Structure 1
């Protein structure tokens, strides 16, 4: 009988058994390490694959939205209560319709979010498409007047006699020069040409 197949408990069997056990243990440790490494690498691999295939677009957008909201919250807390700015509102209508702000002025602190409403009514007997263009006075206030929501970003179609009320949500940058205490926000509402039916009788 060879030494490898000696009965258990013999002097020849013990060294061989220990060697076999060490080899088996080494293989098991290697397998465990490989499996751990593979599992650890799954997360970045999954993110890379989802991003490449567009599967994770919603999650990424949610992350961007959350980051934007966090930045907005930080901005909103930076209100300079030591200063007040008077915002005056003006409306110019280039055409036969009613267009005016719901209030002529508000007083705000720099960094404070404020809202004002504008009212528009098409008093013509035809459908019209129109859009507003904003302007600011003084000119140096333009870079410090941030609109978070504004009807001037869109073109609107209004039926005869139809009325609309639109909000303007804005914030004044605290970096506005100290000598500026009053800002005038003016809107000019104009009809968009060649996008509405002609007036009855061929008039305009």
Structure 2
């Protein structure tokens, strides 16, 4: 018997309470949380009222698969290991119709990352947040690629620009040290990205 069996049992039985589950990696937190979601469904919680939020897309995918797996096993009359002790065959037979209905609406359960969950809220309250409802979340590499694309386009336009006084200062500098101008442009853009309020100091020549 596991030393934390009582605490694990609470996670599966105290469905009307807010609990903090802390444990090391590989101790079965995902299985336990999936089991709690299934227990909520078994006791009649509408799938659309359930939200399981994780840190990564991989964890969210794994959690969703386990919830569906456990629910399907119960419906087939098999009690998953994580739910043994919390679910009896008598309870299962009594609540099978409720569980079957919940599985039919499984896609209404929110299982996603924190960022994706916030994205859903923003899209639902776009007017209140003042943000574009068509905006979407991007991972780090995609955001970096878009950032570099925008700066590259800006730099290309500056190098092609003709002013009333002649060539653009950026274009003039690039004739002498083109690689340094490109590097400095990207460095300054990244600095501005990290410090949006940063500006330049006026110099009297």
Q: TM-score, normalised by structure 1?
A: 0.19
- In terms of fraction of residues, the more helix-rich structure is 2
Larger Rg: 1
Higher relative contact order structure (alpha carbons within 8 Å, sequence separation ≥ 6): 1
- In terms of fraction of residues, the more strand-rich structure is 1
Q: TM-score, normalised by structure 2?
A: 0.19
